[in-house]
Amino acid sequence: MNSQLNTPNPEDRIADYLDCVAKPMKAIPEEAKQPFLQEIKTHAQTLADQYRDEGRDDDAAVRDALRMIGDPAAMGKSWAKSWLRANEPGSFWGAFVIGTGMLTAIHIINYLIFLGMAPIRAGLVTGSPVSFWTALIFGFWYLWGQAAVVMAGAICGWRQPRRATAALLWTCALGALWELVGLCMNANALKTAMMAQHAGHSTAALLLFLARISILSLITTGGLCVLGSSISRSRRIRRLLRA
């Protein structure tokens, strides 16, 4: 039993008990949890009255009544989970659709940028001089991709708080298939662009090399998505955004 329930004054025991019950319920609106807390209070008072009728003093009656009800933290956590499951919007398929849509949009934008920046990449591969502003644009493109993935995960986690992580992992798997198909469709163009660095290699060897890069990239993508989802699902963050 929580140490807060060892308060000497019997009149404060029920109030302390209810505070312990309410601790895991901070993310739930006040008007939703008050009826539940009131129900516990009424039940505790009824049990205490029964124990008094049996001859126990006030302190023992209240203490035994609260003991009979159970652990306050576990009760509050269990009720909070049930309430969130019943009242917050969210489903696996909803998260999957949102995550897939976000990552598909990011892939398309990055692919268009990839095509538009072919001359810059060619200069970087061959070692040709690249201006400061060109390198800055290239770096911004890379950072945009990472930030956008976190944004996709955060939006998915915020809109679909339940099972969002699992849906994001499936989304990243779908993104991997999408990217590998794109590599196969553009094998010749990629082979030409990288010929200076990988001269003499076959198209299959280059595809294998790019596939390894893509797998590492998508592991990072999955991690960033889960990170964004976890951040957005944090109780503290959700309370701040609701304030």
> Domain spans of the chain?
3-87, 92-242
Distance CA 151, CA 194 (A): 31
Looking at 12-16, 74-78, 228-232, which range is the least confident one? Answer: 228-232
Looking at 129-138, 144-153, 232-241, which range is the least confident one? Answer: 232-241
Q: What is the mean pLDDT of the chain?
A: 69
What percentage of the chain carries pLDDT values higher than 90? 5
Distance CA 14, CA 35 (A): 15
What does the chain come to in residues?
A: 243
Closest CA to 165 of 104, 90, 87: 90
pLDDT of amino acid 28: 78
pLDDT digits (tens, 9 = 90+) for 89-117: 556 676 667 767 776 777 677 666 666 66
Structure tokens at 213: 């890069």
